Amino acid sequence: MSKVFYMPAPDLTGTWAAPNASDNYQEDASVFKFTTSADGKTAAFSVCEDVAACRQALGGLRRGWMMIVCEAAMFAPASTKAIKTVKDGIADLADGGWKIKDKAQIEFVE
């Protein structure tokens, strides 16, 4: 059975520390929504579509971690109001963390 949980920003290697997972969305902390596979060893992830998560993700563009786990066809315009996940990314559970396997594809909404 799959499980849904939320994560803050990953580190600069594209890894989310498993202890940082939360069963509930936390405003100003949660940036990504994860849904595990039935075996719990892989998970699909997307950017949370919330104003606070968008603010954190846009800040992640400046700090470098956002494009380690996501890719976009264009740079974020200054007028970006939201981030939409076009295709979920994939992360594998290993060594106490979720490690990026495939980047999520995102687009910026003005």
Which string of DSSP letters, residue by residue, matches 69-105?
HEEESSPPPTT--EEEEEE-EEEEEETTEEEEEEPEE
Mean pLDDT score across all residues of the chain? 94
At a CB cut-off of 8 Å and minimum separation 6, what does 102 contact? 89, 90
Quickly state the pLDDT bin for 76 (edges 50, 70, 90).
confident
Q: Which two tokens stand for residue 34?
A: 């994860």
Number of domains in the chain: 1
pLDDT tens string 10-22:
999 999 999 999 9
Q: Which domain holds residue 47?
A: 4-109
Which pLDDT score is estimated for 63? 85
Q: What percent of the chain has pLDDT over 90?
A: 73
85 pLDDT more than 90: yes
Quote the distance between the C-alpha of residue 33 and its chain's center: 6
**Structural element, H or E, at residue 49:** none
61 pLDDT more than 90: no
Among 59, 58, 109, smallest CA distance to 81 is for: 109
pTM for the model: 0.93
